[in-house]
Amino acid sequence: MPNIKSAKKRVLIAEARNAKNKAEKSELKTAIKKFEVAAADGNRTEADGAYKVAVKKVDQAVAKGVLHKNTASHRKSAMTLKLNKIG
């Protein structure tokens, strides 16, 4: 544990930020998994809805700094290809 006041504050801020990032990543993974399940089932209408939610979550993760923009682009592209294979 740090002794300096500013270092103690940084530890608290880092803990709060880590918790926030962990929650954001969890929501993102859940949205992507829901899309994957819908795509695997071959249900186009359900997959469409899950796709829109997942893409939105990916974009929000980039805006919040949780994901890099190239990683987000790669994931969205992969999801789009899976969605198009269903149709």
What is the residue-level pLDDT of the chain in tens, covering all 87 positions? Answer: 899 999 999 999 999 999 999 999 999 999 999 999 999 999 999 999 999 999 999 999 999 999 999 999 999 999 999 999 997
Q: How far is CA 75 from CA 1, 8, 55, in A?
A: 39, 37, 9
* Domain residue ranges in the chain: 5-86
- Stated pTM of the model: 0.86
The span from the CA of 61 to the CA of 28, in Å, is 8
pLDDT score, position 61? 96
Fold of 5-86: Methane Monooxygenase Hydroxylase; Chain G, domain 1 (1.20.58)
